[in-house]
Amino acid sequence: MIHSLNRRASMYGALFAMIPKMFMAYQLWFWAGLVMNIISITILYFFWDAIYANATIISGLTREQTLNYVLLAFFFMPLVSNDLLWEFGSNLREGLMIHHLLRPVNFQAMNYAQQLGGLVTRMAFQLPIMLLAMFLFDMQFPADLNTWVAFLLSALLGFTAMFFFSWLMACMAFYTTEIWGLGVLLEGITIFFSGSLVPLAMMPAWLRGIVLSVPFAQALAVPVGLLAGITPVSDAPRIWLIQLGWIISMWILSNLVFRVAVRKITVQGG
Amino acid sequence: MTRYLDLYWLFLIQRLKTLMEYRASFILGAASTISLQAASIAAVWVVMQKVPSLNGWSYNEVLMVYGFVTLTKSINHMFADNLWTIGRVYIRTGGFDRFLVRPIDPLFHLLADRFCQDGVGNFVVGIALVIKTSIDLGIEWTLPKALMLIVATISGGVIFIALNLITAVSSFWVIDSVPVTRLVFDNHLFAQYPLTIYPRAISVLLTWVIPYGFASFYPASYLLGREIGNLAWLSPFIAAFLMFIGYRFWQFGLRYYSGTGS
């Protein structure tokens, strides 16, 4: 009797404990994410601080400008990273692609809306660490309204160009069943070519040429350059036009490639 | 001991057989992580073309520190990757119970269960960076220095594994231990650069509390003939101490393990 009562108590006790455990898991992720970001920006700060120990201006940039740029680039990383490749990969693996294509909405437009929603969400999650950086490392946002307008439009255009380019890359999922390696490879390329680690001005001319011949920087280095005050606002119209050119060319190319790739569809069960 | 070595060998052969079934993804997995290292190294290269000294450290010297942390981290990645997945893959599914009824140590079983090929790329990059920079800097490979390379690689790897073990034990309570592990593990990023660029509190933290400094900065300093590098000879003792703590904590955690009911 007592024995069975004990057993029951421990069983229901375990069930009771499940919910706090699950709740704690989400909490833990939040705090871990915050600490991870603090570590990253601390390293960024002291790395650049040491670099500027013996120089006042590097490639025309002061210590404050560079620090502001790399910190802002860190926060606006969501502009350049979307998960289209993983999305395509999992859709194909689970055999859902065909359902999406049969729906009476434009498949690409649907994905764009979703990725835009994802961008807003991820930016919202960057807010706490953004405040910390302003407090700890004196990161500054411009007070000038024109700069903000120039930045926001350029960020939206760059994000859109990057979306179509990622669409192009995601089409590779039709040809391979293994996208993990591809995804990580693309991540490394994105981190460097978006200009998230080093201001473009510091790169040798030949390297900057390569970086600007692919669209990654359009979504990060270009808009953040405006926000950090490295690029003058008077350049904004020219920048918008270039970004528009990227959008149109990537839009055409991504649709052409998708049309060819979709015929290669291999359904791995599901 | 020899029994466990033999067993590990058998586990490894089985694992490699599976991996070879998917040869393309094996190679992609092993190679892909290189692109992340390449991005960071390229950034350091660009900056140090402009400013040749990071707080008194040359480009090649910085790269050697980076190489060491990549190398020691890869040991953890190859041989102890299951400490990341224990919660999600083994405990949540109930698969962990399998280890408890087998006549071998459950921790050994967990680690031997999956050799992770994704670490191979980092291992190659790490060792190549250390060797390349030592040649460029004209470092003479004396016996103590060669010995240090081996001692530091193993000790550094064990430091990574032990810290991940200590934090992974939390999975017995919270199931998914990944965020807890990340809290500690991400501090190794500090050790990618010479610890002297940080304020004193951070270098003390990375030396005596979360001692990733012994997996990169101190052995690199030793090879570079910097005085502070002599501390690197402490690394095997620190590794052994952490592993001891980790194993005791693991045994303590096991007593609380009750399964998830799946």
The secondary element (H helix, E strand) that includes residue B143 is helix B143-168
Residue B26 has pLDDT above 80, yes or no: no
Q: Do B190 and A43 make contact, defined as CB atoms within 8 angstroms? A: yes
CB contacts < 8 Å between A and B, how many? 122
| Residues B35, A185: C-beta atoms closer than 8 Å | yes
Q: Predicted confidence band at A1 (pLDDT cuts at 50, 70, 90)?
A: low
Best of A80, A178, A196 to disrupt the B interface (most B CBs within 10 Å) is: A178
Helix (H) or strand (E) holding A62: strand A61-62
Give pLDDT, residue A262. Answer: 83
Q: Is the pLDDT of residue A267 over 60?
A: no
Q: Which residue has the tokens 């790169």?
A: A203
Q: From the list B29, B174, B198, which residue is nearest A181 (CB)? A: B29
Tokens of A73: 């680039």
From CA B64, how far away is CA B220, in angstroms rounded? 6
- Rounded Cα–Cα distance for residues B167 and B87 (Å): 11
Residue B259 pLDDT = 65
Tokens of B57: 């450290």
Quick one: average pLDDT of A11-30?
A: 75
Give chain A's radius of gyration (CA, Å): 23
- pLDDT tens per residue, range A73-85: 999 999 998 788 8
pLDDT of residue B199: 95
Place of tokens 């087998």: B102
pLDDT at A89: 84
Helix (H, G, I), strand (E, B) or coil at B54: strand
Q: Given a cut of 60, is residue A107 above it in pLDDT?
A: yes
Q: What are the two backbone dihedrals, phi and then psi, of residue A58, each rounded to the nearest 5 degrees?
A: -120, 125
- What are the CA-CA distances from residue B153 to residues A129, B112, B129, B187, B194 (Å)? 35, 20, 13, 18, 17
Instruction: Return all residues near A40 (Cβ < 8 A) that are at least 6 apart.
Output: A74, B186, B189
Q: Which of A54, A58, A182 sits opposite B53 (nearest CB)?
A: A54
Q: Identify all chain B residues contacting A185, using CB atoms and an 8 Å cutoff.
A: 28, 31-32, 35
Torsion of CA B90, B94, B95, B100, to 10 degrees: 100
Query: Least CA distance to B186: which residue of chain A?
Result: A36
Q: How does residue B35 score in pLDDT terms, banded at 50, 70 and 90? A: confident
Determine the Cα–Cα distance for residues B63 and B51; give it in Å rounded to an integer.
15
How much is the average pLDDT of B207-225?
Answer: 96
Q: What are the extents of the domains in chain B?
A: 2-256
Residue A88 pLDDT:
87
pLDDT value, residue B38? 92
From chain A, pick out residues whose CB is under 8 angstroms from the CB of B37. 188
What is the rounded distance in angstroms from the CA atom of residue A210 to the CA atom of residue A233? 24
* Exposure string over A128-153, b if 16+ CB within 10 A, otherwise e: ebbeebeeebebeebeeeebeebbeb
* Residue A46's pLDDT band (cuts 50, 70, 90): very high
Distance CA A231, CA A157 (A): 17
Number of residues assigned to chain B: 262
Are A178 and A95 in contact by the 8 Å Cβ rule? The answer is no
- Write down the number of H helices and E strands in chain A: 11, 2
pLDDT average, residue stretch B18-37 = 78
Burial of B158 (0-12, 13-18, 19+ CB in 10 A): buried
Taking contacts as CB-CB distances below 8 angstroms, the residues of chain B near A17 are none
Q: Which residue has the higher pLDDT, A161 or B87?
A: A161
| Residue A268 confidence (pLDDT) above 60 | no
Q: pLDDT class for A270, splitting at 50, 70, 90? A: very low
SS3 per residue for A91-141: HHHCCCHHHHHHCCCCHHHHHHHHHHHHHHHHHHHHHHHHHHHHHHCCCCC
Res. B132: pLDDT tops 50: yes
Which of A148-152, A154-158, B118-122 comes out lowest in average pLDDT? B118-122
Q: For residues B90-116, give the mean pLDDT.
A: 88
Across A218-223, average pLDDT: 97
Residue A38 falls in which region: left (phi positive, over 0), alpha (psi -120 to 50) or beta: alpha
Residue pair B87/B178 in contact by the 8 Å Cβ criterion: yes
Q: What is the pLDDT of residue B261?
A: 59
A36 → closest Cβ in B29, B35, B182: B182
Helix A236-261, helix A145-170: angle, nearest 10 = 20
pLDDT digit string (tens) for B42-89? 999 999 999 989 999 999 999 999 999 999 999 999 999 999 999 888
With H, G, I as helix, E, B as strand and everything else as coil, classify residue A60: coil
Q: What is the mean pLDDT of chain B?
A: 91
Structure tokens, A112: 């764009």
What's residue B94's pLDDT? 84
| CB-CB under 8 Å, A35 with B38 | no
Angle at B127 between CA B122 and CA B129, to 5 degrees: 95
The length of chain A, given as a count of residues: 270
Task: Residue B173: count other Cβ atoms within 10 Å of its Cβ.
Answer: 15
**Cβ–Cβ under 8 Å, residues B164 and B80:** yes
pLDDT at B98 over 90: no
* The two three-digit tokens of residue B177, written as one number: 């231990």
- Are A55 and B51 in contact (CB < 8 Å)? yes
Cβ contact, residue pair B55, A204, below 8 Å: no
Please give the pLDDT value at position B93.
Answer: 86
With beta carbons under 8 A apart, name residues in chain A contacting B36. 184, 187-188, 191
